[in-house]
Structure 1
Amino acid sequence: MNNKPLTYDSLKTVLQYMDPNIRFFLLSRAPSIRTAEKAAPLRIYAVEIDDHKIRVNQTEYKYEVYQVDRNDNVPYLVSGLRLNDRWTCDVDEFGIPDYITKAGGILPGNNGRDERNLFGFEDHENIPDNDGRLRKLERILETEKNRYKQLLKLQPRRPTGRRRNEGLGFIKFTFIRRDQARLYTKEELELLKNKKEVKRAVEYTEKMVKLMEDELLPFQNRRNNIRPKFEIHVFKRQGWSQFHLIERVNYTGAILKVGESLMEFMFSNRNHAIVVNRFYASWDCSLRMPRNMKMRMKHLIIGSEKTIQLVKPIIDESSFPLEKVKVNSVSRETLEMNHEFIQTCKLLKLYMANDPPLELIQNVTHSNVEFDICSDFLLKEDFIALIRNWMETNKPIGNCFTFHTHKNEAETIEILRKVENQIDGAIYENKCVDIPMRNSSTLKLRLVEVNFHRYIKMTVVPFK
C-alpha cells in the first residue's frame, strides 16, 4: 500500500469531485488544505440563502439566537418569527426584539392603523403609552391563566366517542377572542363536547400561557434589571432529517455576522467562480453578501426586488445570458429592470401578489416574460389596453408575454373571446386569437396547458 500523502494537484482533483458539503466539513477540520480547496473548482447544483439559513444542495445550515440560562436549562429561541409574525434578528441585553428597539422601544399595538400586539392579537384599543400597553398584556396573560383553571375543572356532558363532526367544537373554541380580560362564557365552554376536546383545549391554552409568558419576559427583565445570557447556535441537517447542533457562538448582538461568516467560509476567495445551476436568494434581514464571492449560475430566483442589488455583485459575467431569472415578489412600484443579468436572460418570470398597475407591465421591456399575477388582471380592461399598446407600438417579432390564468379551460377561453369582441380585426379559432399588426406581423394569443396549469401566451409572430 502506498502511504505517501497526496500531492497538491492530486488533492485538488479529489476535492473537485467531492460533495460540496463534505469539502466544507473537511476544510473546517483541516485548515491546512485551504489553499488546495479554494483552488479546486467547486460545482453546486443548488444554493439557497434565506433568513438565518443557507442550503447547499440537500444540506441546510441555520443559525439562531437562544437564551441559555433559564431555570429549566432548556435553550429558548429568541430570534426568528414571533407570535405576531414579526421577524426578529437580534435582541438587546434584556431579550427585547430588534423590531421593537428600532421603533423606539414602543410595544406593538393600535397606532391608528391595523397592527397586532405582542401576542399576535388585533388590538382594537388605542393605548398611546408603553406602560399602558404592557399592563394590558399582563391582564390578558392573567386572564389566560384563569381560563386554563376553568378548563381543568370542566366536565363535558358527552362521553368520548366517534361522532360526526368530531373535533369541530375544539376548532370553533380556538377562534374565541383571547385579547379580552374575561373568562369563558357558558356557551363557549359548551363548544367542547367531550373529554378529548377538553384535553386538547387544556393543552392549547397551556401552550398559549407559556408563549405569552415568554413574550413578556424581556420586558420584565428590563423592569427588574435582569440580563440573561444568549448564544448563537448553528445547526445542520441532511434532507428533511432532524437538525443537529454543530457549533455554539458567543452572542454579541449581531446574528447576521454568523451568516456572513458562513458564506465567506463556503463561497469567498476562490480561484474560480463557483458553478451553480440554481441560486435562490430571499431574505428580509440586512444580510450582506461577502466580498470576493462569484458564482456562474444558470437559474436565479430572487425573493424580492430589494434583494436584486445585493445579489448583482456576485453574478460572474460568464453567467450571461442566464437561462432564467425569477423575481418572486414584485411590488406595485416600478420594477428596476436596468440590470444586465435581467435584460439578457432568456426567460424572465415575475410573480405579483397584488393587482399591478398597467404601467408596470407595459414598462417591462424584456422580450420573453412569464407573469404570475394573483389578481383578475386578465379579466380587466387593463389587459385589453396592454394588447392595444403592443399594436400601437409595433412590438417586434418574437416578443412574448405569458400569463398564468389561474382559471379553468372554459374561463380561459372566455378571456380570449372577450379579446376577439373588443379588438378590431381579431379572429378567434381553436383556442387562439390572431390580431393583425401594421408591421406585417400578427399578435397571437393562445391557450397553453402545462401540467394542469393554463396560460395565455401573447406572441408577435410573422404574418402568414
Structure 2
Amino acid sequence: MGYSKDDLQVMAVKQFNHTLFANRPVIKVKVLAFHAIQDYRIPVGLKIKTTELAVRRTEIASIATILEGDVNRFRVLSGRNAENWWQHRLVQNAKELITEGSPSAEKSCLMLRTFGNKIIRFNNTLKRMRTEKNCELIESWMSVKREVGSELWFALRFKNCSENVLEMMQTRMEVISIDERCVRILGEKGTQVEVCVDKTSHVRWGKPETMKNQPVLYDSLKSILHHMDANLRINMSTQIPSIRATERAVPLKMKCLSFSDTSVKINDVCYELSVYRDYPNGDVLPAGNDFDRFGFEIPFDPSPTLPGDVSLRNRNGQVVRTDTDELEEHYQTQLARCKIILQFLAQQKPGVTLQRKDVWIPWMSDYVGITEKRLQYISNDAREKLKPFLRRRHNLPRPFFCYIQLSIMKDGEAKSFQRLAYTRKLYEAVKQFNHILFAKRPAIRVIKPVFLDNHVYRIPVGFKMSANELTVRESQVASIATMIEDVNRLRVSEGGNTENWWQHRFVKNAKELITKGSPSVEESCLMLRTFRCRIIRFHNLRTLTSEQYCELIESWMSVKREVGSELWIALDQKKRRKNVSKMMQTRMEIIRRDDRNGTQVEASMANRLKDRWQNRLEVFPKDERSFKLRGKNGTQIEICGEVCENETMRHCLKVKIIGN
C-alpha cells in the first residue's frame, strides 16, 4: 500500500521534530506562540515551560498537555466560544491573566470568582455594562480570599463610567478613606481594597487592590481646598472631575447657608431654579411654579416630601388653588371692569386717571388714581389667567413650552447658568441640584445658617451641618434636628406650641444656649435639669416669684455639671436680684461673701445659722457683690447680679459652678 504525498510530508515533519526535541528535558521558552488551524507534529512527552503565552480560547485545552508548570503572563484572545475554558489549570494558575471577549455579566462574575491569579486584566469592551454590573464584577472578585497585593484591572468604555463606579462603590461598602482618584473600602469579609482610576492606552481601568490601610495622599490639595471659598470649590468640582472625590472628602466651610423651596444661598451667591414659559411668539416669562397640562400654576404646598427633605411648612396654612370656579369668575369680573374704565379714559385727555367725581358705580372707587398703563397690565394679566380655564373646558394643551432655568445671583446681578428640559417637576429638579452640591459630604461647617419658615428644604439623605451660631424658633427645632450635628451658640425664641423641643440632642449639647419663652415653672425646672450646655441664658417671659426663681437655680444645680458652667436667669425687676440672692442664702450653706472692695468674709458654723435666720428678714447689703454657696449635693456655686447687654434681659442673676 503506497502513501500519498501529503502523508509522506507529515511523516517527514514528525521525524524531523522527533530528531529535534525527543528525549529532552523541559524546554524553556520566553515567548511561546501558536498558530491557529494547525496540527503540531511533536514527539511524545514534549514539555515546554514559557514565561509569556498568547492563545485563543479554543486552543487552551489542546496545548495544556505540552505545557509544564505555570505561565507568568497568560493572554487569552477572543475567538470561538469554548465552554469553561477558564477552568483549566493553565488559566487559573497563571500569575498574570489578560482576557479579551464579550461574556455576559453573570458569566463574567463566575469567571472572576474562579480565577486565582494575582493580577487579572479583564477586558470586556464589547459589552456595555451598567455601573451596577461593573460593581458586581469587583464584588465577585472580592468574594474569594486572595493574597495581599492582588490586582484586578477591567476596562470601561467611557470616561465618566469610572467616576460612577467610584461613587457607587462608596454606597455599597464601608469607606475607609478617599483620595483624588481612589477610594479605599472595606468588604464584607474584612478585606480592604483600593478602587482607583488609571489610564492605559487611552482606556480607563478600575483597579481594586488588597492592601493595608495607608495614609491619605494629596495632603497639599486637601489643605488648599480646606481654605477655599465654598462656591469656588463647588465650581471647581463640577469642572474638574479628577478632584471631585478629594473635594467631597474635605468639609465645606461657609459663612452663611440658607434653603428655600427653589433656591440655596451659600455666602453671597444664590442658586435658584425657576420654571419659564416660552411662547410661540418668542416671549419668555418667568413663572416660579410648576404648571399642569392646561397651564394652571401648581402651588408648592401640595408637593410631596421626599426622603431626606426637611419641611418647615405651616401646618395650618391653606393650599391656594388656581383652578377654582370662583377664581374664574373673579378674573372675568376684573377684565370686564378694566375694559369699562379703559373705554372711559380713552374719551379723556392723555394722562388722565379716574377721579372720585367720575365714579358712578360703587366698585369703580377701587380704581381711582390708577394709570391707564397699570389698568392695561391688570387687564392683560386677567386675560392670561383665564386661558387655562378655556383650555380645560375644550381639553387643549397649554399654549406655551416650559423649561427649568438655573440662575446664579451675586451682588444683585442674576446670570442664567443652565437650562433644563421640563421633564420633571420643579421640586424634583431642586432635589437633584442639592444632591449634586451636598450629597456624600462630611458635616458642613457654617458660621451662621438661616432657616426660613414655610419652606421645604430639598436636601440629600444624610446631610449634616455644624453651626457656630444658630437662631431658631421652638417650632423649627424638631424639623431641623436631623440635619444639625452640633452648635456652639444656640438661640431659641418662642414661636408655636411645640412639646419637649428642649430634649433634642443638638439643643441639650449646645455649648451656649439662649432661650426666650413663657413655659410654666414646672416645665422650666424640667428644661434646666435636661440642658447639658456649659452656658445657659434663660429668659422666662412670665412673672415669677423670688421663690420660683430659686427653684430654677436649684433644678439647674441638681444635675452634675463641669466647673465653670454658668446659668443666667433674666429677672423682671431690678430688686429681684437682692430678693433671690437673699433667699438662696437661706436655702443653702454660705461659704464666702465678697464685698465690693474685694475683702472676703468667712462664715463660721455658728454665724451660718445666725445669718441664715437673719437673712430671711434683712435687706441685701448694698456693698456686697456676690455670694458663694454650697448645695445639698456638695456643688459650690457663686451668685452675683449682672447687667446684660441684651435689653430683653437687662437685669439678671448669674450662677456659676466653682466646685463639685
The one-letter amino acid of 1:399's match is L
Correspondence 1:448 to 2:648: no
Structure number having the greater strand percentage: 2
Correspondence 1:390 to 2:571: no
The one-letter amino acid of 2:481's match is K
Instruction: Show the 5 A alignment for 1:293-332.
Output: 293-302=463-472, 305-306=475-476, 308-316=477-485, 319=486, 322-327=487-492, 330-332=495-497
In structure 1, how many angstroms separate the alpha carbons of the residues matched to 2:346 and 2:537?
A: 56
In structure 2, how many angstroms separate the alpha carbons of the residues matched to 1:14 and 1:8?
A: 10
In structure 2, how many angstroms separate the alpha carbons of the residues matched to 1:426 and 1:242?
A: 67
Q: Is the 8 A contact 1:92 1:253 kept in 2?
A: no
Partner of 1:334: 499
Distance change in 2, residues 1:131/1:263 (3 Å)? closer
TM-score (norm. length: structure 1): 0.62
Q: Is the 8 A contact 2:470 2:490 kept in 1?
A: yes
In structure 2, how many angstroms separate the alpha carbons of the residues matched to 1:181 and 1:116?
A: 31
Correspondence 1:346 to 2:511: yes
Q: CA RMSD in A?
A: 5.0
Q: Deviations over 1:363-400 (max 9, x none)?
A: 6434755689xxxx95xxx3236x65333453446432
TM-score (norm. length: structure 2): 0.46
Partner of 1:126: none
Distance change in 2, residues 1:36/1:445 (3 Å)? same
Distance apart, 1:345 and its partner CA: 1.0
Partner residue of 1:247 out of 418, 425, 439:
418
Partner residue of 1:281 out of 448, 451, 454:
451
In structure 1, how many angstroms separate the alpha carbons of the residues matched to 2:481 and 2:348?
A: 60
In structure 2, how many angstroms separate the alpha carbons of the residues matched to 1:181 and 1:221?
A: 33
In structure 1, how many angstroms separate the alpha carbons of the residues matched to 2:347 and 2:525?
A: 64
Correspondence 1:205 to 2:375: yes
Instruction: Show the 5 A alignment for 1:413-432.
Output: 416=574
Partner of 1:43: 253
Partner of 2:292: 92
Partner of 2:284: 74
In structure 1, how many angstroms separate the alpha carbons of the residues matched to 2:317 and 2:443?
A: 47
Correspondence 1:266 to 2:426: no
Query: Secondary structure, in 3 states, of the residue corresponding to 2:436?
Result: helix
Query: Secondary structure, in 3 states, of the residue corresponding to 1:44?
Result: strand
In structure 2, how many angstroms separate the alpha carbons of the residues matched to 1:426 and 1:66?
A: 75
The one-letter amino acid of 1:300's match is L
The one-letter amino acid of 1:461's match is V
Correspondence 1:400 to 2:568: yes
Partner of 2:653: 459
Distance change in 2, residues 1:417/1:460 (3 Å)? closer
In structure 1, how many angstroms separate the alpha carbons of the residues matched to 2:637 and 2:527?
A: 21
Q: Is the 8 A contact 2:261 2:456 kept in 1?
A: no
Distance change in 2, residues 1:332/1:283 (3 Å)? closer
In structure 2, how many angstroms separate the alpha carbons of the residues matched to 1:438 and 1:304?
A: 34
Query: Secondary structure, in 3 states, of the residue corresponding to 2:283?
Result: coil
Instruction: Show the 5 A alignment for 1:54-203.
Output: 54-69=264-279, 71=281, 73-79=283-289, 90-99=290-299, 102=302, 130-151=324-345, 182-184=363-365, 189=368, 192=369, 201-203=371-373
Query: Secondary structure, in 3 states, of the residue corresponding to 1:183?
Result: helix
Provide structure 1 residue ranges, at least 5 long, that are not aligned to the other structure.
1-6, 80-89, 104-112, 120-128, 161-168, 174-179, 193-197, 404-411
Distance change in 2, residues 1:93/1:304 (3 Å)? farther
In structure 1, how many angstroms separate the alpha carbons of the residues matched to 2:575 and 2:493?
A: 30
Q: Is the 8 A contact 1:371 1:402 kept in 2?
A: yes
In structure 1, how many angstroms separate the alpha carbons of the residues matched to 2:522 and 2:345?
A: 57
Distance change in 2, residues 1:252/1:448 (3 Å)? same
Q: Is the 8 A contact 1:66 1:76 kept in 2?
A: yes
Provide structure 2 residue ranges, at least 5 long, that are not aligned to the other structure.
1-216, 304-315, 558-565, 584-615
Partner of 1:106: none
The one-letter amino acid of 2:278's match is V
The number of residue pairs the alignment matches comes to 371
Q: Is the 8 A contact 2:526 2:555 kept in 1?
A: no
Identity of aligned residues (%): 19
Distance apart, 1:92 and its partner CA: 2.5
In structure 1, how many angstroms separate the alpha carbons of the residues matched to 2:519 and 2:331?
A: 39
Distance change in 2, residues 1:274/1:418 (3 Å)? closer
Distance apart, 1:245 and its partner CA: 1.0
The one-letter amino acid of 1:314's match is M
In structure 2, how many angstroms separate the alpha carbons of the residues matched to 1:181 and 1:137?
A: 18
Larger Rg computed on CA atoms? 2
Partner of 1:235: 407
In structure 1, how many angstroms separate the alpha carbons of the residues matched to 2:523 and 2:389?
A: 45
In structure 1, how many angstroms separate the alpha carbons of the residues matched to 2:641 and 2:328?
A: 58
Distance change in 2, residues 1:91/1:364 (3 Å)? farther
Distance change in 2, residues 1:74/1:315 (3 Å)? same
Q: Is the 8 A contact 2:302 2:319 kept in 1?
A: no
Query: Secondary structure, in 3 states, of the residue corresponding to 1:246?
Result: strand
Q: Is the 8 A contact 2:402 2:422 kept in 1?
A: yes
Distance apart, 1:237 and its partner CA: 1.9
The one-letter amino acid of 2:464's match is K
Distance change in 2, residues 1:34/1:390 (3 Å)? same
In structure 2, how many angstroms separate the alpha carbons of the residues matched to 1:329 and 1:53?
A: 27
Q: Deviations over 1:40-95 (max 9, x none)?
A: 4432222222332111122111112222236451223142xxxxxxxxxx443334
Distance apart, 1:331 and its partner CA: 0.4
Q: Deviations over 1:390-439 (max 9, x none)?
A: 33453446432448xxxxxxxx8xx5479999999897999xx999x996
The one-letter amino acid of 1:92's match is D
Q: Deviations over 1:138-157 (max 9, x none)?
A: 2133213433444555569x
Partner residue of 2:233 out of 6, 10, 23:
23
Distance apart, 1:341 and its partner CA: 0.8
Greater length-normalized contact order (CA 8 Å, ≥ 6 residues apart): 1
